[in-house]
Structure 1
């Protein structure tokens, strides 16, 4: 049976799929790969169905050894030096590893999260129907550690495609633009604040993880003061705390929140958020 032996996980390497939808009533968020487009593409490149589990590797510094059988793999998402037995591997393309081959993901030069798919998918025990690691609720497979052996699932019926229709582009290294929908509490903010949200630049802070990304810019002044009762949130909800700085909730964010949500980042733009780095400039447009 094919398997992947982790030799060095880097700062954070997680098993992720497309998440566990439908459990918000239990207080369980969707979770899953933050860059869903990159996860789907990685799976498609090796002939997997969309929902097969992949590895999400933060920043790089990851090294693993293939064992048991020859295995197709593909790396998408972040852009950096990827090698197999010391030889460069093309990004966003399927490659084949022999037993004993060592895969390394170097420091990401663009973006921040690699997505690694293997043909057959990572075969960890599912929790609530998903193999995703939820870092806030501590559900799903544990973060990877040296020596961890990951089973690889049975090969799918589909063959590895000869070519893929999507061109490979690295994540943006400069300013990014995200599309916003109106939030349920947009009317809690002044006209000037809603104007500033779209007309002024924001910057990603170091307070960024799978739960949310904090931005800094011109404080968003509220029209309505006072406390807000907890209400539902979804990935992409932009909630604004008392200081007027927004936080974009991501896949591991809570299902309820107590701060007003001024806007909601569209699903396509959430894939962009998954790859932004601290210090990177962000601007917004109307969806």
Structure 2
């Protein structure tokens, strides 16, 4: 067995996969990766199915060591940099971590969530069919907990064969408003509130985590009060409590809620919203079901195409590549050379 040993990491660094599906009716939150696009990228680079569990980093990075290596691994998401023994690994490439080497994942630069995948996945026992860690129920992760220093993640040695690969693929980078479908309780809001919701800019507040993103902006007034009979919650539902400030429910959401939901973020845009940091502005645009379904299929097809975009890793003599290498093994002067003649 090969182990990836945690030397240091942030407090919410944890294993996440597609989520714990099929148990919400029993009150179990699905959890799962906040950015499944980045999860799929990291997994494609090491030959895994797109929803295989990886280490999810939240705002912070970490350092790791390999015991019994080598390990074939890859990092993707939020522009987080990767180094092995201080040498940068180019973006969207896999790498081999040899026994004794130190892997360093830097802080995400352009978002919040990054993912570290290893070939074959982590050999950890799932709970209710998933490795996804859920903080409030303490399900999944490594023995029901996030990762911390000295943890050892077992990996499958038989999956480590193969050369490093790179992905030549365009990353979806939509910058327009987040698309939503109105409802299911948009009739609980005044027409003016619907207009404000779709025409105003909101801000991601500091009260944003894997359970939900509290937004700040114009107050959205209710037309029929702010309590409803509790009903089921899906990722992307936008609840509006009595404060009039919307809350976008995310992967660690509760399974049922009693506040009216003005709209629902479409599944294809939820990863983009998840990568926004507190203080970022966000606008919404209402779409019909046909556009939401087309966008979901487009994202599905893009993820499915990733293995066909893999190619063997090659290096070109660019300035960036040369600067990442130690090209000098030492220096001598004429006198020291003469002394050894």
| TM-score (normalizing by structure 2) | 0.79
Distance 1:259 1:159, change over 3 A: farther
In 2, are the aligned partners of 1:47 and 1:160 still within 8 Å (CA)?
no
User: What is the rounded CA distance, in whole Å, between the counterparts of 2:163 and 2:253 in structure 1?
Assistant: 35
What SS does the corresponding residue of 2:269 show, helix, strand or coil? helix
- Looking at secondary structure, tell me which structure has more helix per residue: 2
In 1, are the aligned partners of 2:11 and 2:148 still within 8 Å (CA)?
no
In 2, are the aligned partners of 1:203 and 1:282 still within 8 Å (CA)?
yes
In 1, are the aligned partners of 2:120 and 2:155 still within 8 Å (CA)?
yes
- Structure 1 residues without counterparts, runs of 5 or longer: none
Distance 1:157 1:8, change over 3 A: closer
What SS does the corresponding residue of 2:65 show, helix, strand or coil? strand
Specify the alignment match of 2:48 in structure 1: 48
Specify the alignment match of 1:271 in structure 2: 271
- Deviation, 1:158, is 10
User: What is the rounded CA distance, in whole Å, between the counterparts of 2:284 and 2:91 in structure 1?
Assistant: 29
269-278 vs 222-231, which moves further:
222-231
- Deviation, 1:273, is 1.9
Specify the alignment match of 2:250 in structure 1: 250
User: What is the rounded CA distance, in whole Å, between the counterparts of 1:272 and 1:153 in structure 2?
Assistant: 32
- Residues 118-169 of structure 1 show CA distances to partners (whole Å, capped at 9, x for unaligned) of 1111221100011110123221121011000001135559967844352357
In 2, are the aligned partners of 1:228 and 1:258 still within 8 Å (CA)?
yes
Specify the alignment match of 1:151 in structure 2: 154
What SS does the corresponding residue of 2:192 show, helix, strand or coil? helix
Specify the alignment match of 1:112 in structure 2: 112
Distance 1:226 1:238, change over 3 A: closer
Distance 1:260 1:233, change over 3 A: same
Specify the alignment match of 1:213 in structure 2: 213
* 1:31 paired to 2:9: no
Specify the alignment match of 1:129 in structure 2: 129
Aligned residues: 284
In 2, are the aligned partners of 1:231 and 1:258 still within 8 Å (CA)?
yes
In 2, are the aligned partners of 1:81 and 1:105 still within 8 Å (CA)?
yes
- Residues 8-41 of structure 1 show CA distances to partners (whole Å, capped at 9, x for unaligned) of 0123200111111111111112111110111111
Larger radius of gyration: 2
| TM-score (normalizing by structure 1) | 0.93
User: What is the rounded CA distance, in whole Å, between the counterparts of 2:204 and 2:69 in structure 1?
Assistant: 42
User: What is the rounded CA distance, in whole Å, between the counterparts of 2:269 and 2:9 in structure 1?
Assistant: 28
Distance 1:176 1:114, change over 3 A: farther
Specify the alignment match of 1:88 in structure 2: 88
- Deviation, 1:50, is 2.0
Specify the alignment match of 1:196 in structure 2: 196
Superposition map of 1:143-182 within 5 A: 143-153=146-156, 155=158, 162-168=165-171, 177-182=177-182
Specify the alignment match of 1:140 in structure 2: 140
User: What is the rounded CA distance, in whole Å, between the counterparts of 1:284 and 1:212 in structure 2?
Assistant: 17
What SS does the corresponding residue of 1:43 show, helix, strand or coil? helix
| RMSD between superposed Cα atoms in Å | 2.0
